[in-house]
Chain A
């Protein structure tokens, strides 16, 4: 079946602003939006886009599909019988066509030190009970695709907001029984650009392709930050 799709094109060396261009693709039952984009790239090799795994693992193929942030490889053309408009992820600067500059997101991510911090140099494995694992496991499924940043109106208003995924990963490690790094992560969460910039819109959790539920993590972070606030009042 032939399908017309529109793609936002932008070449910073030539264009003053992005423009929609339409293309014809062949769409079968299993054609993903990423497949369609790769067909277009065959017709027009100047189209730039990011992708790698084609199986919703690498998190690199995020785009706006009819204005909603989605992974191209996890979204099917068949679900868009009417129009299908593909544009770059919102709230990020566009580098070319569908490629955005993810560095603000990556900086926020590294600011919360999203890795196990543990001074203990033991060669023994760190044991964890299923209950201890369950506390953070859901938050460990993040693939850093950045869709939640495109969904977040507060990140759109304030790019300094460290954002849903970074806060989720901070929670993921803060809740891990093997980790001792909470004290170095909390200052980021406690700041006005940390958990407190969130107004609990919840769209981040709706668009998350891995059902990580960043909104829940941010709200847990608010409780953690509020108790940190109270503790700080009683400690010098």
Chain B
């Protein structure tokens, strides 16, 4: 082992870590609320079926707050959690000695970015209609 001579290269990890942390908060806070409001309560008949009718949901998603509410929802419940998941998989692969290098990084974060782009694209397409 050689002693450190020149300073090592800066890692790009803060970007992924920031997305991971933000995604973790969304996972912990927004996800359970969304599952409760969109899946459990309607399924148990505790909210009226009408509260999730097409007109209301599309208004919330596409028009509320000039479309910002829909963007925040998709960002917080789909995109950021995707990056959180990708980060865990990336580091899990490193732990299992199956990856963790550039290739798995491209696959993990690339997939998260791709799926996020589709989600946001679909949202914007609906908003612009």
Measured CB to CB, the residues of A under 8 A from B are 103-104, 107, 110-111, 153, 157, 159, 187-188, 190-194, 196, 199, 222, 225-226, 229-230, 232
Contacts and interface: CB of A to CB of B under 8 A. Distances in A.
Contacts, number: 51
Contacts of B91: 199
A82 B126 CA distance: 67
B45 interface: no
A223 to B, nearest CB: 10
A152 to B, nearest CB: 12
Contacts of B97: 157
26 contacts: A103-B1, A104-B1, A107-B3, A153-B95, A157-B95, A157-B97, A187-B7, A187-B8, A187-B10, A188-B4, A188-B8, A190-B8, A191-B8, A192-B8, A192-B9, A192-B11, A194-B11, A196-B14, A196-B17, A199-B91, A222-B17, A225-B14, A226-B18, A229-B10, A229-B15, A230-B14
Given A196-B17, A199-B95, A107 B1 contact: yes
Contacts of A188: 4, 7-8
Interface of B: 1, 3-4, 7-11, 13-15, 17-18, 91, 94-95, 97
Contacts of A232: 10
A101 B124 CA distance: 59
6 nearest A-B pairs in the assembled complex, by CB-CB distance:
A187-B7, A191-B8, A196-B13, A229-B14, A226-B14, A192-B11
Contacts of A194: 8, 11
A107 B9 contact: no
